[in-house]
Amino acid sequence: MSVALQGGLWRPGLPPGVYEERPAVARRARVRLDVAAFIGLAERGPVNTPVAIEDPARFERLFGRALPGLLLPQAVRLFFANGGRRCVVVRCLDHARVRTSRLVLPGLRAVQAAANRAARVAARNPGSWGNDLALRSRLQRRALPLRLEIQRVGGVAQGHYFASGAGISVGDTLLLVGRPSHSGRPPRRLLVRVSAITQGAAGRELTLAPPPPRGFRSNELLAHAQRLTLDLEISLHGRLLESWSDTALHPDHPRFLARLIGRRAESEALRPARWDQPDPESPAAEVDRLWGALGDPFGSELLRPSAELADAWLIPEEQLLNAPLGLTLSGAELPANRQGRDAHLTTSRDHFFEPTAIHTADLLADSNHRFVAFALRPGPFDPTGALATWDNAHPFEPAALISLPDLLHPTPPEAAPADPIATTERPCFASVCLPTPETATLPVADYPRLAFDAADLRAAQRRVVTACEEQGARIAMLDLPPGLMEQAISAWRETLASDRAVLYAPWLWANRQGVAGELPPSPAACGITAQVEREIGVWAAPANRPVAGVFGRRADGLLPDPGVLHQERIAEVRATERGLLLLGARTTSYDPQWSHLSVRRLLDWLRLQLAADLAWAPFEPNGPPLWSAMAGTASRRLRTLFDAGALAGRTAADSYFVRCDRSTHSDLDLDAGRALLWVGVAPALPAEFIVFKLVRHGADDPHVEALL
């Protein structure tokens, strides 16, 4: 019988012979610069936390509805409508004045030692949205017959309980039936838990706590024992969104209800560490650490349990035991001091940059329950904030396009009709009965401190540009406010002059659930930029593309003619015979070398991509073999760009150069273990060399030290 050998081992499916087994070649990481970061206002969702969004449905599930007055939800929709694939959303607000809805689990008490309190929970994150929550708890009863055997040890009678059913676990809550205390009274009921299980020759022996008293210890009564589990349904705005079935009532059980819902939510997976805590994984720093590790399944997106429930036994009240359909609690029934509220009257542009400060009195009042989960979070642009957290977790997909759609609310929002609500109160005797829609409107979220204020808005946009310049791989996608004359536009652009800033105009009209609403153009530009990168490459200009998801330009009689906007390097959305087109993709920089967005993005991408390509370099000895290998890796990457038409020269020599030899190193570099790779490229526009220096410091990863 013949066999096929490969490296001395048999491999099925190969013809007979001896084969050389070669290791698989690792594929180099591909850097993407099409991930946009949207920072703004939402109905709900974690605060100052990066959340990855791949489609509008996921945004609505995690951040809520597109209410009138909130531009962020529509901006995300516009991004995906124009070709975006992935974005990062960061919700901001005035955290010091916002409040979180505080609820209780209906029909349950939290019992721990001598304490017997209501089982408190809260909305997962702050805002008035939690007032529309509705909780329904219902007990599930499963028969679990028990058998009692009495044994005498040293003259002392000892009872041993054995289970006849299946599925019993440590921490299960059992309901036992006892004899009535007096004649004519109903049978007594007792709740016990399984504290231990021992497998023996006689079966599975249970240790019950507390031990059942005399009136519950006959086998006739124990045969009617029941195992109790809890179903919790969580509804929002009348829709069932989460259902936690067959959960346990005691913390010793692996499916303890509070632990299941209390673990870190999916939207909080990348929540940045508190800047005032040295150990972000400590339970003292993160309330989520009470409920599980980072690798555990996600918890509830709608509820956060009180920290007091961590070691508490959830005891059903008599009312819940007697309610086969369960009990329901609505957030609308809460007293005013426990209802959530928004901070729309005090939220300002500063809150898109500053940490989530909170009053000390609120922290002290909440210390036992720790519902204030997002206190003392760094601002999105902080070196340890949301965007840096995202970049660290996704080094090959950094947040490269930055848009803040809620920086300006040009006009007060209008009420929008909600989805029709079906009612069945009226009888129908026709052959076909249609639901009767009720008249309803979505609540309006007005933010007066985000109205037009030229100085404040310009300063806020300048802060965005400065943050992008300091980080070194981001582009500020900014919106020109409406109502500016030619001279004001020139001054506005001068303030924001940077090779990392792009200004778009004018504002657009979009359909907001049947009502025309104003939207800034930068989210559409982010989507078009992502689309062009996916279809062609990062070196292609994201311009001359149709704008989808809108039906017109906002009328602005003061907006200058296209020639003036082109001269001021404002990217305009213009009506043409092909529809609305985004014309122009130039930065606000006065330097001609950096006037094109495609050039800026190409150099950003090349720096990151070469650093990823050379990730192996720190593990090699510094010397000519390393220098030659580094130069070869960079040359192959640049040749790919040249073949794709991303560079301006007619030949490779005219388009780029790579140098890494003794001439690029000084004696100090060699002594310090640095390997210097010099790369020069001539982007398609302008046709000039832009030189940067890539440095390997000892065992550190390669990085760009300077642009020349």
pLDDT in tens, 121-158: 999 999 999 999 999 999 999 999 999 988 776 666 67
- Judge whether 661 lies within some domain: yes
* Residues 539 and 654 both lie in one domain: no
- Judge whether 429 lies within some domain: no
Kindly compute the dihedral angle of the four CA atoms of residues 288, 294, 299, 303, in this order, to the nearest 10 degrees. Answer: 20
* Residues 329 and 249 both lie in one domain: yes
Which residues have C-beta within 8 Å of that of residue 369, sequence separation ≥ 6? 120, 122, 306, 307, 308
Percent of the chain with pLDDT over 90: 59
User: 671-675 long-range contacts, Cβ below 8 Å, gap at least 24?
Assistant: 672/697, 672/698, 673/622, 673/697, 673/698, 673/699, 674/622, 674/698, 675/617, 675/622, 675/626, 675/627, 675/630, 675/702
The span from the CA of 540 to the CA of 602, in Å, is: 9
**pLDDT of 484:** 92
The closest of 288, 291, 303 to 241, measured between CA atoms, is 303
* Tally of CB atoms within 10 A around 520: 30
pLDDT tens column, 317-350: 999 999 999 999 999 888 998 999 999 999 999 9
**pLDDT of 18:** 60
- Judge whether 423 lies within some domain: no
Q: Quick check: 647 and 655 in contact, CB under 8 A? A: yes
* Residues 118 and 240 both lie in one domain: yes
* Residues 495 and 549 both lie in one domain: yes
Which residues have C-beta within 8 Å of that of residue 524, sequence separation ≥ 6? 78, 79, 81, 82, 508, 547, 548, 549, 550, 573, 582
Among 102-116, 333-347, 431-445, 515-529, name the one with the lowest average pLDDT. 431-445
* Residues 647 and 505 both lie in one domain: no
Q: Which helix (H) or strand (E) holds 15?
A: none
Say if residue 244's pLDDT is above 60.
yes
Q: Which helix (H) or strand (E) holds 652?
A: helix 652-655
* Residues 555 and 619 both lie in one domain: no
**pLDDT of 281:** 55
The span from the CA of 553 to the CA of 362, in Å, is: 45
Tokens representing residue 137 in the block: 């708890």
* Residues 580 and 676 both lie in one domain: no
Question: 182, 204, 224 — which closes off a domain?
Answer: 224
* Residues 116 and 62 both lie in one domain: no
The closest of 75, 53, 70 to 62, measured between CA atoms, is 53
- Judge whether 26 lies within some domain: no
- Judge whether 366 lies within some domain: no
What is residue 664's three-state secondary structure? helix
Q: Quick check: 251 and 204 in contact, CB under 8 A? A: no
What residues pair up with 433 in beta bridges, in sequence order? none
Give the residue carrying structure tokens 């206002």: 41
What is the C-alpha R_g of the chain?
A: 32
pLDDT tens column, 623-656: 899 989 999 999 999 999 999 988 888 899 989 9
Length of the chain: 708
- Judge whether 12 lies within some domain: no
From residue 256, give the alpha-carbon distance in Å to each of 50, 229, 250, 318, 437: 29, 10, 6, 21, 41
Which residues have C-beta within 8 Å of that of residue 594, sequence separation ≥ 6? 499, 587, 600
Local confidence band at 700 (pLDDT 50, 70, 90 cut-offs)? low
Q: Which helix (H) or strand (E) holds 317?
A: none
* Residues 506 and 588 both lie in one domain: yes
CA 544, 548, 550: angle at the middle one, nearest 5?
120
Mean pLDDT along residues 538-562: 90
What residues pair up with 191 in beta bridges, in sequence order? 175
Question: 295, 322, 341 — which closes off a domain?
Answer: 341
* Residues 208 and 74 both lie in one domain: no
Question: 224, 247, 267 — which closes off a domain?
Answer: 224
The span from the CA of 314 to the CA of 81, in Å, is: 47
In the chain, the number of structural domains is 4
Mean pLDDT across the chain: 86
CA 224, 226, 230: angle at the middle one, nearest 5?
160
- Judge whether 364 lies within some domain: no
pTM, full prediction: 0.87
Phi first, then psi: give them for residue 608, nearest 5 degrees.
-70, -40
Q: Quick check: 302 and 239 in contact, CB under 8 A? A: no
* Residues 89 and 59 both lie in one domain: yes
* Residues 136 and 151 both lie in one domain: no
Local confidence band at 2 (pLDDT 50, 70, 90 cut-offs)? very low
Tokens representing residue 635 in the block: 């040359």
- List the domain range (segments joined by +) for residue 248: 102-141+230-341
- Judge whether 310 lies within some domain: yes
